[in-house]
Amino acid sequence: MLTSSLEKTNKGYALAKILTLKYSQYLKKKYFLDFVSLMPANLYGEGDNFDLKSSHVLPALIKKFTIAKIQKKPFVEVWGSGKARREFLNVEDLSLAINFILNNKIRYDYLNIGSGEHYSISAIAKIIKKITKYKGKIIYNKSYPDGVSQRKLDCQKIRKLGWKPKIKFINGLKKYQKYYLDKVYPNENE
């Protein structure tokens, strides 16, 4: 951490995470508080933001492919080249990790919490296309930035403590798409 410059499309978010971690370390040391900062992978799950103007990549792709399937659109636009790689974690797994940490004595200042599964945006788009049974094309709009080329967490510490995620990414995406289709989509069209 803090060994190179921050990626420009993510700088504000990265700084906020770093400042929180450093402040927690300071409080832990000065006041002997039992703080552990958690650094989760990109999260997805029920309650997510599916607004295409402000959502993250997974809810945007789930929404785009689901609507394209329903409306029989000829293509789905994916922002960027599709080459960037990301690790995702279901919010249910994060809640299990938080519970695990609260119930165990943790000596670390921070822990990365991730799924261990790492996919390109292109691979994710193809998985969602298959889940939604969409038959059209995928078009990559390279005028949008990819952001950081790769985001993958080293989660060895929490794995050694005995925690691991329960939800496989593809299974989580299937449930996530069903959640969008059954619970979110009908309310968007009222």
Domain count, the chain: 1
Helix (H) or strand (E) holding 172: helix 169-179
Interval 87-106 mean pLDDT: 97
Identified catalytic residue from 13, 23, 26, 144: 13
Asked if residue 43 is part of any domain, the answer here is: yes
- Residue 2's pLDDT band, with cuts at 50, 70 and 90, is low
pLDDT, residue 58, reads 98
Q: Which residues of 10-32 are buried (b: 16+ CB within 10 A; e: fewer)?
A: eeeeeeeeeeebeebeeeeeeee
- Nearest-CA neighbor of 169 among 83, 93, 79? 93
pLDDT tens sequence across 116-131: 999 999 999 999 999 9
The boundaries of the domain holding residue 100 are 36-188
Asked if residue 14 is part of any domain, the answer here is: no
Interval 24-33 mean pLDDT: 92
Q: Are 63 and 55 in contact (CB under 8 A)?
A: yes
Q: Residue 101 belongs to a domain with what CATH number?
A: 3.90.25.10
- Residue 190's pLDDT band, with cuts at 50, 70 and 90, is low
User: How far apart are alpha carbons 181 and 54 in whole angstroms?
Assistant: 19
Interval 76-84 mean pLDDT: 98
Active site residue 179: no
Asked if residue 7 is part of any domain, the answer here is: no
> Strand pairing partners for 40?
113
87 pLDDT above the threshold of 90: yes
Asked if residue 22 is part of any domain, the answer here is: no
